Structure 1
Amino acid sequence: MKRKLTEEMEHDFFFVHESIVYGVLRKCGIRFNHPDYDDYVQIGLLKLVEAYETFPEDLCQEAYFYQFTGYAFQKIRWGIIDEMRKAIKNAERETLIGEALDRSVPEEGVESDSDWLVWELMPTMLKYLTPNEQQYLRDAAIDQLSITDIAKKHNVSRKTVYEWRKKTAIKLAHFKAVLKS
């Protein structure tokens, strides 16, 4: 059953059920001093409305009112946990990227002869790639998107993106050999 939360009911609905969101946040260990607290509150409120719209029973009956509370709590909890997982995954990705960048920065006083060569060869390298492979390289190297995010961005399957990656690696292997010599 799909119902809509009307503007007339909105104020009363949130007055009665908004505390569920704060209960979920407390249960998940997200306190008011958390840097993303307001974002999590908004996510919780959106999930609360989603729970209202998808709850299968009639909320006008008192027996289903309490069932809705449990249903909404669980739906909000799952949504918050999903967002927490995404935040952890992004933080790990940023840490890995930071570590990789730290390793790639040469020590002071040591010039990296291959850096200028890479930038000189970049336009030539891109000419060997198809437009999709060029876009994959930009998305993966510059925008730091995951395979899944690239697939969603271009409305293709993950398998297709893996193929782009494989073909890009094969075509650029020649330049890697030039850089090493």
Structure 2
Amino acid sequence: MKRQLTEELEHDFFFVHRSIVYGVLRKCGIGFNHPDYDDYVQVGLLKLVEAYETFPSDLNQEAYFYQFTGFAFQKIRWAVIDEMRKSIKNGERELLLGETLDQSLPQAMIEPDSDWLIWELLPSMMDCLAPKEQLYLKDAAIEQLSISEIAKKQGVSRKTVYEWRKRTAAKLAHFRNVLEH
């Protein structure tokens, strides 16, 4: 049975059932101070609506109300666990990508006595970058922000920031020779 959550029912539905999402998050060990808490809440709310739309019995009968709670809880729990797994996989990829970028940076960029050369080359480095890549470089190099912090600051996904980082590293690769000699 496929039902639609209408705008008239929406407010009451979320008032009654929103706590299921928070219960799932608590059960999965995701507290409100978790960096991705809001993302998990959104996943839970989407799955709550999906559970409403796919629940096989009539929700107007009281006996099915409690069955729906268990049905929705399980559906949300599975979705949150899947998101947690994806997050762990992405974290592992981030570590590998970070190590790869660190290895591709010229040693002179890491050594402190070459700072003056970097500052001399910085304007020409910035000129070869697109505006978003320039923002990435400023946030990463000068403000020392993490990928997640940059994504939040710029209002984009972390994947987008990784793309900026990859393109920035590729465009600045030709400066490597200058810094190494």
Number of the residue aligned with 1:70? 70
Q: Quote how far apart the aligned CAs of 1:103 are.
A: 2.2
| Moved >2 Å (runs of 4+) | 103-110
- Measured against aligned partners, the alpha-carbon deviations of 1:68-102 in whole angstroms (never above 9, x if no partner) come to 00000000001111111111111110100111222
Structure-2 separation of matches of 1:93 and 1:38: 22
TM-score by length of 2: 0.59
Number of the residue aligned with 1:118? none
Number of the residue aligned with 1:124? none
Superposed, which structure 2 residues align to 1:83-122 within 5 Å? Answer: 83-108=83-108
Q: Quote how far apart the aligned CAs of 1:107 are.
A: 2.2
Number of the residue aligned with 2:14? 14
Number of the residue aligned with 1:36? 36
Aligned pair count reads 113
Number of the residue aligned with 1:27? 27
Structure-1 separation of matches of 2:27 and 2:7: 30
2:65 partner letter: F
Answering whether residue 57 of structure 2 is matched by residue 61 of structure 1, we say: no
Identity fraction in percent: 79
Structure possessing the higher radius of gyration over alpha carbons: 1
Structure-2 separation of matches of 1:143 and 1:39: 21
Segments of 5+ residues of structure 1 without an aligned counterpart are: 111-141, 145-181
Number of the residue aligned with 1:117? none
Superposed, which structure 2 residues align to 1:113-152 within 5 Å? Answer: 143=163
Number of the residue aligned with 2:134? none
Number of the residue aligned with 1:168? none
1:91 partner letter: G
Q: Quote how far apart the aligned CAs of 1:30 are.
A: 0.6
CA RMSD of aligned residues (A): 2.0
Structure-1 separation of matches of 2:3 and 2:46: 15
2:78 partner letter: W
Number of the residue aligned with 2:49? 49
Structure-1 separation of matches of 2:57 and 2:163: 45
TM-score by length of 1: 0.59
SS at match of 1:108: helix
Structure-2 separation of matches of 1:18 and 1:105: 48
Number of the residue aligned with 1:169? none
Structure-1 separation of matches of 2:32 and 2:163: 32
Q: Quote how far apart the aligned CAs of 1:143 are.
A: 4.6
